[in-house]
Amino acid sequence: MAWRTLGTQLCELGESPFWQASDARLYWVDIAGRAALRADPATGATERWPLPDEPGCMAPARTAGQPSGWVLALRSGIYRARTWGGSLHRIARLPYDPRNQRANDGKCDPLGRFWVGTRDERPGGGGAAMYCIDARGNPARGNPARSGPAQVQPMWEGASTLNGLAWSPEPHTLYSADTPTHRIEARDWSAVDNRLGPARTLHQFPRKPALWKPGESGYGGYGGRPDGAAVDADGNYWCAMYEGGRVLQLSPSGELLQAIATPAVCPTMVCLGGAERRTLFVTTARHGRPDAELERTPLAGRVLVLEAPVAVPGLGVNAFEEAEWTGDSDV
């Protein structure tokens, strides 16, 4: 299948793409490049917003039901911004040591809570966790910790690098991946009281061969490991396969429906956007990749756009919902 690129920006570690229909733009972050970006596919015009530390993810935000900028998860906490490139206001801190852990993949659930998975950067570390940030004025059940204007509720822990967060259309199922385990998990989810059932395996991929080296023909038989994801209107799970050079579409039961090769070894996350939500956008990475690999794949670090529309549209992006503006008192 044919690919083109969006805009002119080269990212070190592109992630967290979402389509914002109100201005017909794609938004994403560059984690290692410490920036948020947005681009207009109609013109290719791209804007880069430098950030003080690494952003893991971002989402649109609404105050009392009205659009009011964005929410961003940085290494140093959860922030709100009213305007693009404007002042950042920290509304919550996540309960980890930012010297060895950072925010990673995340997005908002259909009720407006912001979920953020983390990455434990220590060798062999298993301290990553999933957090749910709620500013709707109606705290979730359990005993969420107050760390500012928003409530922070730990959802589960014991992972290394949490990715692949998505919800089924109903939405009764939450999906995620702990990337180093090569496993995508599914959990039953009760939206109103924010309760999760036990994790079950949606799909287990083979581990990386011990002697595998980047650039081997056919990636040495290695298909990569699951990174960022999205769900389409039929409930199929689309995921980027880091170091696998492909994007996969899995059925709601975990069966492989199709594999689409990408012109970058490390796709990082997918988004189904565009006017009909049938355009496949894919962020990619070049950070830390071998020079020889980057010479062979010069599109690494760019946002890829599949030329042909996909058959089933994606789901619209969910916004962070707050009862009132949370950015007045930084924490």
Expressed in angstroms, the distance from the first to the final Cα of the chain is 48
- Residues facing residue 321 across a β-bridge: 62
* C-alpha distance from residue 112 to each of 30, 109, 130, 297 (Å): 24, 5, 16, 38
Give CA 276 to chain center in angstroms: 21
Strands 55-63 and 320-322: parallel
Residue 53 annotated to the active site: no
| Matching residue, tokens 């984690």 | 31
Neighbouring C-beta atoms of residue 221, cutoff 10 Å: 10
**DSSP category for residue 316:** P
Which of 134, 227, 232, 291 is catalytic? The answer is 227
What backbone torsions phi and psi does residue 295 show, to the nearest 5 degrees? -65, -35
- Residues facing residue 19 across a β-bridge: 26
| Strand ordering across the sheet containing 14-20 | 14-20, 25-30, 35-39, 46-50
- String of DSSP letters for 136-177: SSSPPSS-PEE-SSSEEEEEEEEESBEEEEEE-SSS-EEEEE
How far, in Å, CA of 128 to CA of 316, rounded?
28
**Whether 177 contacts 239, CB under 8 Å:** yes
- Residues facing residue 320 across a β-bridge: 61
Q: Which residues of 152-171 are buried (b: 16+ CB within 10 A; e: fewer)?
A: bbebbeebbbbbbbbbbeeb
**Whether 62 contacts 43, CB under 8 Å:** no
Residues classed as catalytic: 227
